[in-house]
Amino acid sequence: MSMVGIIMGSDSDLPVMKEACQVLEQFGVKYEVTICSAHRVPSETSRYAREAIDKGMEVIIAGAGGAAHLPGVIAANTVLPVIGVPIKTASLSGLDSLYSIVQMPRGIPVATVAIDGAANAALLAVQIMAVADNDLRHKFTTYKGEMARNVMAKNSRLQELGIGEYLKLKQEQ
């Protein structure tokens, strides 16, 4: 069974990273959640990354704020795909996290999603695993089809009601 590792540097990241869990549950993908700081427990963080394959992980989602070294440390210690989630910070609104994750040196790639983009990180993990998993590929194709149908239904309703009535209806919901 496919499994995703979800790791974060602090429990304060959990409200954001929970979104990744919810998406993976929607697709029936098994996951493991861990708190492990690249700065406070570097040897444990490196061990986590080195042992991820043996645990059955196929992708690791790493959320971090501020200096945001966690995704890079994980990527430096595994051959698995790593997806970094920059966590919004009070001081720089997450730009510090984003820059830290996206500016990895050559040879240590980390895919990076938007600030607080844990849901998209999980969707990317699903897409990566779907390359070798037909069932997961079918689920993802169905998911994208549902999104498209929802957009088209909203457009039909907009065309039927007009802008004013459509917005009024949305406000009432």
Is a pLDDT exceeding 90 seen at residue 165? yes
Burial classification of residue 108, based on how many CB atoms lie within 10 Å of its CB (0-12 exposed, 13-18 middle, 19 or more buried): middle
Closest to 9 measured CA to CA, from 85, 79, 83, 78:
85
Task: Give the DSSP per-residue string, 63-83.
Answer: EEETT--HHHHHHHT-SS-EE
Q: Which CATH number does the domain housing residue 19 bear?
A: 3.40.50.1970
Residues 93 and 11 occupy one common structural domain: yes
In whole angstroms, what is the distance from residue 62 CA to residue 52 CA?
13
Residues 60 and 84 occupy one common structural domain: yes
- The neighbour count for residue 114, using CB atoms within 10 Å, is 13
Confidence of residue 2 (pLDDT cuts 50, 70, 90): confident
Is a pLDDT exceeding 80 seen at residue 167? yes
Residue 1: per-residue pLDDT: 62
- Averaged over 78-95, what is the pLDDT? 96
Residues 56 and 115 occupy one common structural domain: yes
Residues 127 and 147 occupy one common structural domain: no
Task: Give the sign of the dihedral formed by CA 52, CA 38, CA 128, CA 33.
Answer: positive
Instruction: Say what the pTM is.
Output: 0.94
Alpha helices in the chain (DSSP H): 14-26, 42-51, 70-76, 95-102, 118-130, 134-161, 163-172
Is a pLDDT exceeding 80 seen at residue 43? yes
- Averaged over 155-160, what is the pLDDT? 97
Is a pLDDT exceeding 80 seen at residue 111? yes
- The DSSP output letter for 41 is S
CA geometry: angle at 17 spanning 98 and 135, to 5°?
A: 110
Is a pLDDT exceeding 90 seen at residue 118? yes
Q: How many domains does one find in the chain?
A: 2
Residues 119 and 144 occupy one common structural domain: no
Range of the domain at 168: 137-172
- Averaged over 34-62, what is the pLDDT? 97
